[in-house]
Chain A
């Protein structure tokens, strides 16, 4: 069998899931609107009001999101390292520590420059 076939199948399944969920809730879900429901979804934070074009997200929200991604990526790289830890030895340990230090540099910058202060 062509090795690409499973990928195609997976793609089709994924697309079907997305389409079906949205379409299904649209078709069969109850519709009772209130203000909270119509607001932009923002992790429970009040959206910043804006004169034109409706609500606008505060830029700080993105800072937090980006910081999250930094650590997200770090863990992505930690996973394969953990799997092959035994075979890689001291070299990889040093490298991995360096990598984490690198990531923490970004974190330190963010913290010192007030990226974590909400107001």
Chain B
């Protein structure tokens, strides 16, 4: 058992002392939590590899270990969701307590169809990300710094560079963060959720600071993300405390009951406690998805982090955080939906507008994609605000569509490099002007990037269109007219800056030298091909995935 589950178990265990006389061993459904056990186990193993395997073999051990564990965990998810009778089809977004899904670890973790769907998605996204992170054709020694703790530009760093070191800690860090992400949308009480939030965030902060080039920018990103992340975690925790004060429990189902049928003295007439708690918990999660006005970290961090990490973060963090947001809002807070909906409407509108409009003036491709991801968070919120089973399904679909496209797009960003006068390859050429005329020099790269951009823009026959259609349809069918309309307008604005890049790649004269496209290794190629394939397939035949989300339902 891992520390996280331990803490969860102990928390619930202590909880019981208050109500019952003494402890009893908790029930653990090992099959249901097996994906998390695999990942956390592998993460610990990876730490030991770092400790005991000689430096030159570490990369060769870490990459297969990470990929195998991700694949194994995905296999476990598939196996668990295809066997057993725990999944049910229902017409409502929350099944009755006797229905499908498994509540395990004394109710701290719920493995229902939504958890399984998101866990599967996360594992696939992480798998592709690892393939991209393991790329070593672009920079000798990989995309990450050889000595993260050395002062940038110091002799120590220089030495490590020359020795060809590589920091393979990225793999255990990734496994820990994936573990946290798996737990995040499956957490059934606010404390477990908080722990998952921290477990997924802390390694991410570190991963952001590991860029091989532009070390200062990377470290700045890391520190900013850490400070602001800690800040927002505090809000989450404060909200959880207030909700505990109101409901007398941190269990989501208990909070739902307390909101719907307030009974005790602590609940009657103390709505402000509940409402403030809801708002603060929501803020903590909105920070993670990058919704405005809690988005300010996104551009800086996305720009500074190593690009493979940015891709992973943009895709997987959003999936996990939206999973948690969905669960909290739909399971715990749906009784007070009329109270929080207006505020979230405001957030959704602001997010779409800020993301789409500010992206127009960006000159750095990573910053542009960062603002684009903010805008997508807004579109996702639009679907979420249907507060209904169709909202749930559309968001799940959108997350998959967006996740794969994002990973593919950032993977391509790693390939366009500065080049010196003698043709030596430098860091990433992220300034948009350096992308001019790429269509003529690297038609394949430009075409693939165009596909991803078109998908972001929501052009039909790409997954982005199917996703946007799903979320807007969900919003409209529940009367969220204005939201959908603003969403369409915002995507219109967004289409402009996506198309601008396409125009730049195809219809502009290339800048005189200074940019080179580096041929990637097979792993990156494979990841990009998969991402492109998913983008097209989900655009042409979205029913393949929509069928999977059809049974999506939360277990309280």
Touch between A and B in complex, CB under 8 Å? yes
The interface of chain A, by Cβ under 8 A from chain B, is 59, 77, 80, 84, 87-89, 91-92, 95, 98-99, 102-103, 105-106, 108-109, 111-113
Decide yes or no whether B10 CB sits under 8 A from chain A.
yes
Q: Do A102 and B9 have beta carbons less than 8 Å apart?
A: no
B18 within 8 A of A: no
Cα A95 to Cα B14 with chains together (Å): 16
Residue from the list A59, A80, A84, A106 in contact with B47, Cβ < 8 A: A106
The answer to whether A91 and B51 touch across the interface, beta carbons within 8 angstroms, is no
Is B6 close to A, CB under 8 A?
Answer: yes
Q: How many residues of B contact A (CB 8 A)?
A: 19
- Pairwise interchain contact A95-B48, C-beta atoms closer than 8 A: no
Whose C-beta in chain A lies nearest to the C-beta of B21?
A87
Q: Choose among A89, A91, A105 the residue that contacts B44 (Cβ–Cβ < 8 A).
A: A105
A90 (CB) vs chain B CBs: closest residue = B25
B51 touches A80 (CB 8 A): no
The docked-state distance in angstroms from the alpha carbon of A115 to that of B54 is: 17
Using A84-B23, A108-B47, A111-B51 as known contacts, list a sample of 5 further A-B pairs with CB atoms less than 8 Å apart, ordered by residue number in A.
Answer: A80-B14, A95-B1, A105-B48, A108-B48, A109-B50
Cβ contact within 8 Å between A102 and B44: yes
Q: Is the CB of A77 within 8 A of B44?
A: no
Chain B residues with CB under 8 A of A89: 25
Q: Evaluate contact between B25 and A102: CB separation under 8 angstroms.
A: no
- The docked-state distance in angstroms from the alpha carbon of A89 to that of B51 is 33
Contacts of B10 in A (CB 8 A): 77, 80
Q: Is the CB of B47 within 8 A of A109?
A: yes
- Min C-beta distance of B273 to chain A, whole Å: 14
Residue of B nearest to A109 (CB): B51
Q: Which partner residue on chain B sits nearest A112 by CB separation?
A: B51
B52 cross-chain contacts in A, Cβ below 8 A: 108, 112
Hey, which chain B residues are within 8 Å of A99, CB to CB?
Answer: 1, 3, 6
A112 and B47 CA atoms in complex are apart in Å by 11
B192 → chain A closest CB, angstroms: 16
What are the residues of chain B within 8 A of A106 when measuring CB–CB? 47
User: Out of A91, A102, A111, which one reaches B2, CB within 8 Å?
Assistant: A102
Is B22 an interface position by the 8 A CB rule?
Answer: yes
Asked if B24 lies at the interface with its beta carbon under 8 angstroms from chain A, I say yes
Chain A nearest CB, measured from B276 CB (Å):
18
Q: Tell me the complex Cα distance, A112–B1, Å.
A: 24
Name which residue of chain B comes closest to A76, CB basis: B10
Bound form: Cα–Cα A66–B404 in Å: 38
- Closest Cβ of chain B: how far from A117's Cβ, in Å? 14
- Chain A residues whose C-beta falls within 8 Å of the C-beta of B23 in the assembled complex: 84, 87-88
Give bound CA distance, A111 to B52, whole Å.
10
> Considering the chains assembled together, what is the distance between the CA atoms of A106 and B176 in angstroms?
13
Complex A-B: 20 CB contacts under 8 Å: A59-B149, A77-B6, A77-B10, A84-B22, A84-B23, A88-B23, A88-B25, A89-B25, A95-B6, A99-B1, A102-B6, A102-B44, A105-B44, A105-B47, A105-B51, A106-B47, A108-B48, A109-B50, A109-B51, A111-B51
Number of residue pairs across A and B with beta carbons under 8 Å? 48
Instruction: Assess whether B50 is in contact with A113, with CB atoms less than 8 Å apart.
Output: yes
Cα-based distance from A38 to B329 in the complex (angstroms): 54
Min CB distance A66 to B, Å, is: 13
Residues of A within 8 A of B1 (CB): 95, 98-99
A59 to chain B: which residues have CB within 8 Å? 149
Instruction: Report B377-421 residues with CB < 8 Å from chain A CB.
Output: none
Closest Cβ–Cβ distance, residue A97 to chain B (whole Å): 10
Closest residue of chain A to B24 (Cβ to Cβ) is: A87
A residues less than 8 Å from B24 (CB atoms): 87-88
**Closest chain B residue, CB of each to CB of A110:** B51
Determine the distance from Cα of A87 to Cα of B16 in the docked complex, in whole angstroms.
14
Asked whether A109 and B25 contact (CB < 8 A) given A80-B14, A99-B6, the answer is no
Q: Which residues of B contact A98 (CB under 8 A)?
A: 1
Expressed in whole angstroms, the Cα–Cα distance for A98 and B28 within the complex equals 15
By a CB distance below 8 angstroms, the chain A residues around B6 are 77, 95, 99, 102
Contacts of A92 in B (CB 8 A): 25
Enumerate B1-54 residues with CB–CB distance to A below 8 Å.
Answer: 1-3, 6, 9-10, 13-14, 22-25, 44, 47-48, 50-52
Interface 0/1 of B115-137, CB less than 8 Å to A: 00000000000000000000000
Least CB distance, A60 to chain B, in whole angstroms: 11
A113 to B50, CA, bound (A): 8
A72 to B3, CA, bound (A): 14
Closest to A91 in B: B25
Chain B positions within 8 Å of A111 at CB level:
51
- Are B22 and A87 in contact (CB-based, < 8 A)? yes
Mask of B285-301 contacts with A, CB within 8 angstroms, 1/0? 00000000000000000
Residues of A near B51 (CB, < 8 A) are 105, 108-109, 111-113
Q: Which residues of A contact B44 (CB under 8 A)?
A: 102, 105
Inter-chain contacts of B14 with A (CB < 8 A)? 80
Residues of the B chain whose Cβ atoms lie less than 8 Å from the Cβ of A109: 47-48, 50-51
Q: A109 to B44: give the CA distance in the assembly, Å.
A: 10
Nearest Cβ on chain A to B511's Cβ, whole angstroms: 41
Complex alpha-carbon distance, A80 and B22, angstroms:
11
